[in-house]
């Protein structure tokens, strides 16, 4: 005899409930529940076209709220080094192209002499096989180094710098006087623009000297910035016949560095880029010693600052209270400035008029 739909459902339910059914009301309720579950299950099955459409929508939302994938790489990574390492970089035109500077977490650029700047790179998050060329220290870089309390690699220095290395008890790694084994000369380049080291050698040298390693203190992190949109700035450090002009242009979510209108490239062809560019003013005086114009820079003190982040420019200030304290960056209201995660360059200039907004 042919069974109606109700009887079929009842037989099915008997299988699940050991052949016992309480009443028809229960059968009806359970039948509706089963139909609902089957219906939901069918909705989860999508065609390849629908899956592709859903993935496209999710990607669009991801880019809208989180930025493109390149921005997602801008996250804090675990450091590869046991602590920060600082290196004095030669920046005379004969010293370029340099090596390893593109991997520094932070870089300070300050006038050294007659229009020629010197750079101090701070390494923490990446191992670097070749760093240089390396040159001498200046006393204001030694004062900066004291605030970070990390080993400083250099080759000699001015009289003031050498005296200060001792008086401030800097974790000194001087190729000339006390750490020559942890550097090498590149025979393919001419002295004095051919001295190099690596993070591996500096770590070994610091360990041999009994220096402790200190993590690099990260700048306060933020995610949104308000300010006027400015995509390019320039700073002219030129003096006399030596022309030297630095510019930063905002492209593809980062700032690209140029020297005299050409990209600042490393010896392997890598271009210098930064996530934050900080410009600070520090009182600077030119003095003449042995017919050479040298710079005196008040890096312990305070002054104006400009911050370039995400294509915007913002005003603020900076302060370094003492040689032992680290430099602090404040926004326009006097609160700690927040920065984008990534690499930061600090340009030190004599006065704000040296900064040109393109």
Q: What are phi and psi of 88, to 5 degrees?
A: -85, 120
pLDDT (0 to 100) of residue 74: 53
Domains delineated in the chain: 5-72 (no CATH), 85-357 (3.50.90.10)
Mean pLDDT of the chain: 85
pLDDT per position as a tens digit, 241-298: 899 999 999 999 999 999 999 999 999 999 999 999 999 999 998 888 777 778 899 9
Whether a cis peptide bond, with omega within 30° of 0, leads into 170 is no
Round to whole Å and give the CA distance between 342 and 255.
11
Percent pLDDT > 70 in the chain is: 79
Query: Mean of the pLDDT values across residues 119-132?
Result: 98
Question: Is pLDDT above 90 for 130?
Answer: yes
Confidence of residue 50 (pLDDT cuts 50, 70, 90): very low
Question: Is pLDDT above 80 for 33?
Answer: no
Confidence of residue 25 (pLDDT cuts 50, 70, 90): very low
Question: Is pLDDT above 50 for 15?
Answer: no
pLDDT (0 to 100) of residue 182: 98
Q: Where does 282-332 show beta strands of DSSP type E? A: 284-289, 292-297, 301-309, 312-320, 328-330
Give Cα 179 to chain centroid, integer Å: 28
- Residue partners of 352: CB distance under 8 A and separation at least 6: 281, 304, 306
Number of separate helices (H) and strands (E) present in the chain: 7, 21
Round to whole Å and give the CA distance between 165 and 139.
8
Query: Mean of the pLDDT values across residues 75-90?
Result: 92
Question: Is pLDDT above 50 for 77?
Answer: yes
Higher local confidence (pLDDT), 56 or 332: 332
pLDDT (0 to 100) of residue 288: 83
pLDDT per position as a tens digit, 155-177: 999 999 999 999 999 999 999 99
pLDDT (0 to 100) of residue 9: 47
Of 26-40, 179-193, 245-259, 314-328, the range with the lowest mean pLDDT is: 26-40
- Residue partners of 318: CB distance under 8 A and separation at least 6: 278, 280, 302, 303, 304, 305, 327, 328, 329, 330
Q: Which of 231, 228, 277, 224 is nearest to 251 (CA)?
A: 231
Q: What are phi and psi of 46, to 5 degrees?
A: -115, 155
Round to whole Å and give the CA distance between 264 and 249.
12
Q: Which of 270, 266, 280, 263 is nearest to 344 (CA)?
A: 280
Q: What are phi and psi of 155, to 5 degrees?
A: -125, 90
Question: Is pLDDT above 90 for 336?
Answer: yes
R_g over Cα of the chain: 31
Question: DSSP secondary-structure letter at 92?
Answer: S
pLDDT (0 to 100) of residue 222: 93
Percent pLDDT > 90 in the chain is: 71
Question: Could you tell me if 44 and 85 are in contact, meaning their C-beta atoms sit under 8 angstroms apart?
Answer: no
Q: Which of 175, 163, 160 is nearest to 87 (CA)?
A: 175
* CA atoms lying within 13 Å on the CB side of residue 317: 10
Query: Mean of the pLDDT values across residues 32-49?
Result: 42
Round to whole Å and give the CA distance between 235 and 308.
13
SS3 of 249, please?
A: strand
pLDDT (0 to 100) of residue 240: 84
pLDDT (0 to 100) of residue 64: 36
pLDDT (0 to 100) of residue 75: 62
pLDDT (0 to 100) of residue 114: 83
Q: What are phi and psi of 63, to 5 degrees?
A: -70, -35
């Amino acid at each position: 005899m042919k069974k109606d739909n109700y009887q079929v459902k009842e037989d099915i339910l008997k299988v699940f409930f050991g052949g016992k059914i309480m009443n028809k009301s229960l059968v009806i309720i359970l039948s509706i529940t089963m139909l609902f579950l089957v219906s939901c299950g069918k909705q989860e099955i999508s065609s390849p076209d629908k899956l592709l459409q859903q993935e496209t929508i999710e990607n669009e939302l991801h880019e809208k709220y989180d930025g493109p994938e390149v921005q997602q790489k801008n996250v804090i990574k675990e450091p590869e080094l046991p602590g920060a390492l600082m290196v004095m970089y030669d920046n005379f035109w004969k010293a370029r192209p340099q090596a390893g500077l593109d991997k520094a977490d932070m870089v300070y650029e300050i006038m050294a002499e007659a229009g020629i700047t010197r750079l101090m790179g701070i390494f923490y998050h990446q191992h670097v096989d070749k760093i240089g060329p390396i040159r001498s220290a200046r006393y204001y870089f030694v004062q900066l180094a004291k605030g970070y309390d990390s080993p400083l690699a250099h080759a000699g220095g001015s009289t003031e710098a050498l005296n200060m290395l001792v008086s401030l008890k800097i974790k000194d790694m001087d190729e000339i006087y006390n750490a020559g084994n942890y550097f090498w000369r590149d025979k393919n380049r001419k002295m004095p623009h051919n001295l190099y080291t690596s993070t591996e050698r500096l770590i070994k040298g610091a360990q041999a000297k009994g220096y402790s390693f200190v993590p690099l203190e990260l700048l306060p992190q933020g995610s949104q910035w308000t300010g006027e949109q400015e995509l390019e700035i320039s700073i002219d450090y030129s003096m006399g016949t030596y022309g030297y002009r630095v510019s930063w242009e905002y492209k593809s979510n980062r700032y690209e560095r140029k020297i005299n209108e050409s990209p600042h490239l490393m010896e392997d062809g890598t271009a210098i880029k930064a996530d934050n560019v900080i410009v600070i003013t520090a009182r600077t005086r030119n003095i003449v010693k042995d017919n050479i114009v040298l710079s005196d820079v008040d890096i312990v003190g305070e002054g104006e600052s400009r911050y370039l982040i995400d294509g915007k420019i913002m005003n603020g200030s900076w302060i370094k209270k003492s040689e032992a304290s680290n430099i602090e960056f404040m926004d326009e209201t006097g609160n700690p400035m927040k920065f984008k995660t990534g690499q930061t360059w600090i340009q030190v200039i004599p006065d704000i008029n040296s900064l040109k907004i393109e």
